Every structure is written in C-alpha cells, then in structure tokens.
Amino acid sequence: MKSEKWTSTDARPSTTGDDPSPRTTGTAPPVTVGVEEEYLLVDPVSRHVSTRADKVVAEAAAELGDRVTTELTRYQVEIRTRPHTDLVHLGEELRATRRAVARAAAALGLRIVSSGTPVLGQHTPPPLTTGDRYARSLATFRALDHEQTACACHVHIGVPDLATALGVSNHLRPWLPALIALAANSPYWAARDTGYASWRTLTWGRWPAAGPPPFFESVSHFEGLVDRLLTSETLLDRGGLYWDIRPSHHVPTLEFRIADAVPTVDDTLLVAAAVKGLATAALTAVRDARPAPRPQPELLRAAYWRAARDGVRGRSINLHTGRLEPAAAHLARLWDTALPALAPVDRTAVRAARRHLDSAGNGADRQRAAYRRRHSLHDVVDHLIDQATA
C-alpha cells in the first residue's frame, strides 16, 4: 500500500471540524482499493505447516521487494498490493503476487495455502517470528499469542481524511456479520472440525481491542479512546488496534480486517468488491450527512457469533428485528447495496466468483467438501494448495 500517511491537518480538516460525517462538495475521486493477504506455508508431503517463512520471504523479496514480509508466527507470509481504482488490475497484481510467493516456497520444497487457520501441524505455542515488537506482544498478551496462527485478508479503501474514515466505519458496522459469512474459511483447528465456518473470528475476538469498532461520535472521540487504550497499556502501539474496521495507522485508508484469508484470488476479489461497494455507498451517505445506523452492541456481537458459526448456508441474525433469517437473505441485501455503487468493470470482474459462491459455498464449505470425499484432512490441504494459485 504505497501511499503517504495522513498529516495532522488531514486528520482534522478545518472544513469539517470534529464531525465524523462531514459534507463535501464537487465530484468525488475514484475509490481506491488495496489488499493485504496472509498465507500459510505447508510441507506437501506431511501437509503440516512449515516454520520457514523467513526464508520464503527472503526468496520472494527478490521479485516483490517490500510487498512481501513475515508475520507473527514463522508459519506465515504476508503480502500487500498497491492501491487500485478497479478490481481487474487488483486481480492481476494478486495473481502475480501469489504465484511469486508460491515459486519462492517451491524453491524450498514448500507450498502456500490461503486459509484462516491451519488444518494440520500447528503447535501451541507456535514458533514466533523474532523481533522486538513480537517479543513485546508475547510479554504483554501472553497466551493470546499462543493461538494466533490465524490468517486474514485485509481490504484497504482510500479515504481523504480521518473524519470521513470514521463516518464510513459507522455506516458499515451493521454489514460486518455478512462479510464474516461471505469470507469464512477456517473450519478446522488442531486437526479437527470446529463446527464453525470461521473459527478465526472466534479466536481473534479475544483480543482486548478487537471485534466490531465502536460507533464514533467525532474525531476527538476516536483519538481520546485510542489515547486511553495506549495509556492503559492495552495496546502496544496504534498498530495493535485490531478492530475489524480501523483507520490505518500508516497509510490514508480505512482498513477492513474482518475477512479470513480466502482460498482463491477470485474469492479475494469478491470480498474486495463487497467492501468497495459498501464503502462507496457509505461515502455518499457521509457526504450527504445521512445518519448512520446504530445496532445494539450486544446484538451485533451475537450476529458475529452466528455468522462465524453458520457462514453463508445457515441463518443470520437480522439486526433490525433481532430474529433469525436465512444467511442468504442478509447477503442479498449486502449485494443490493454494494453492487449499484460499483463501476461496471468491477461488477463484471466478480460475476463468476458470485456464481461460484452460490453453487459451491464459501471457503469453509469447500474445505469440508474436500474432506468428505475420502474423510481425509490431507485432501483438505491439497485442495487449498491447488486453490492458492488457481
């Protein structure tokens, strides 16, 4: 995500004061979108995760430079794309990047998979990447780090200033359960079926500053809360703010951290399309100063749990009525909001992926389908290897 950080004047523009839902005038520039993906390294013989992430990153960096890096555990590799104004070019970069990382892994006899959690071979505690920040994290959060072999797909949406970012975040909080269901791809943990579509959502939600973001009344509300979290040593730094929507601490974007790492590039583009469309619609609502919905925090948390359990083929909690409904109905409303806000080229780019979701389900459904063929977790890993560069 090559871009400059917000300046202090950008964060509190004089034309918007302290309002998180400012009005602007004129034609809005194209909405940019970028992605960070985390992959797991696996041995193609044992199908267990491998601890050689540092060597794979060093190999891949010859081609990708600083767009590839390590993550918390030595099982993981992270990549980041440049910002794009359309999903076609984003998809091209993602395919090229995945293949570059896969080649680097293959040079060391390994493979990559894109899954929210490992299927086989993880240890508790996992081998952590060396470095001061990871050491401080372990000292502060202790056993929370022991079960964080979890991989995500983060979508960054370009926003002009912090006030706008917070206004968009407020508008999109009710859509977070639907995005969990759409991207769910972590049914297995410690070589067993958890019964959940997204076990990663449950494990990640245990962190002290994770899950759905608060509803922010103003920029000063956000800054004051973050300052208190830092002062109370709840966060190591601003990078430790793990809400599922957060203003990025290092680039001028709003970062959506809700999604599991998904199997294919087409799956990633589908998540990016949903986020981009919802965010584009929310940007219009922010510019028009329309009030954002405020679901009950307790009901939103319950909807998180239900979406993580049931995915796209079960039921979800309607945040307006509090009643259960088919998850497909919630997703249909998501697309009714997101698709009209996308350019035709973006809608075309994800048409096939939407059909595949409707027929084969999300990543968790496909992992379980691979298992059912021979009741073999090796088959699940092989499926994920094949999908990673499909």
Model pLDDT for residues 252-294, shown as the tens digit of each residue: 999 999 999 999 999 999 999 999 999 999 999 999 999 999 9
Tokens of 182: 């759409």
Question: Phi and psi dihedrals of 240, rounded to 5?
Answer: -90, 10
- Domain-located, residue 1: no
- Domain-located, residue 92: yes
pLDDT for 27: 58
Domain with 60 in it? 8-388
Read off the DSSP letter of residue 110: -
- Domain-located, residue 297: yes
Distance CA 347, CA 267 (A): 14
Asked whether the predicted pLDDT for residue 153 surpasses 60, the reply is yes
Taking CB atoms within 8 Å and a gap of at least 24, the contacts of 298-303 are: 300/173, 300/174, 300/176, 300/177, 300/212, 301/211, 301/212, 303/177
Number of domains composing the chain? 1
CA-wise closest residue to 196 among 304, 41, 272: 304
Share of the chain above pLDDT 90, in %: 81
CA-wise closest residue to 301 among 174, 159, 122: 174
Inter-residue contact 19 to 218 (CB < 8 Å): yes
Q: What is the mean pLDDT of residues 208-234?
A: 95
Q: Which of 104-118, 133-147, 195-209 has the highest mean pLDDT?
A: 104-118
Question: Phi and psi dihedrals of 253, rounded to 5?
Answer: -135, 165
CA-wise closest residue to 380 among 390, 368, 365: 368
CATH number for 19: 3.30.590.20
Type of residue at 182: L
DSSP letters, 124-171, are: SSPPBPPSHHHHHHHHHHGGGGGG----EEEEEEE-SSHHHHHHHHHH
Lowest mean pLDDT among 26-35, 116-125, 237-246: 26-35
The more confident residue out of 122 and 62 is 62
Q: What is the mean pLDDT of residues 83-102?
A: 98
- Domain-located, residue 114: yes
Q: How many CB atoms are located within 10 Å of the residue 339 CB?
A: 16
Q: What is the mean pLDDT of residues 315-327?
A: 97
pLDDT for 16: 35
Give the 3-state secondary structure percentages of the chain, helix then strand then coil, rounded to 5: 50, 15, 35
Lowest mean pLDDT among 24-33, 188-197, 357-366: 24-33
- Domain-located, residue 313: yes
For 347, the enclosing helix (H) or strand (E) is: helix 344-349
Strands 210-211 and 242-243: parallel
Axis crossing angle, helix 219-231 with helix 162-172, rounded to the nearest 10 = 90
pLDDT for 20: 56
Asked whether the predicted pLDDT for residue 25 surpasses 90, the reply is no
- Domain-located, residue 76: yes
- Domain-located, residue 332: yes
- Domain-located, residue 2: no
Axis crossing angle, helix 176-183 with helix 327-338, rounded to the nearest 10 = 110
pLDDT for 107: 98
In this prediction, residue 237 has a pLDDT band, given cuts at 50, 70 and 90, of: confident
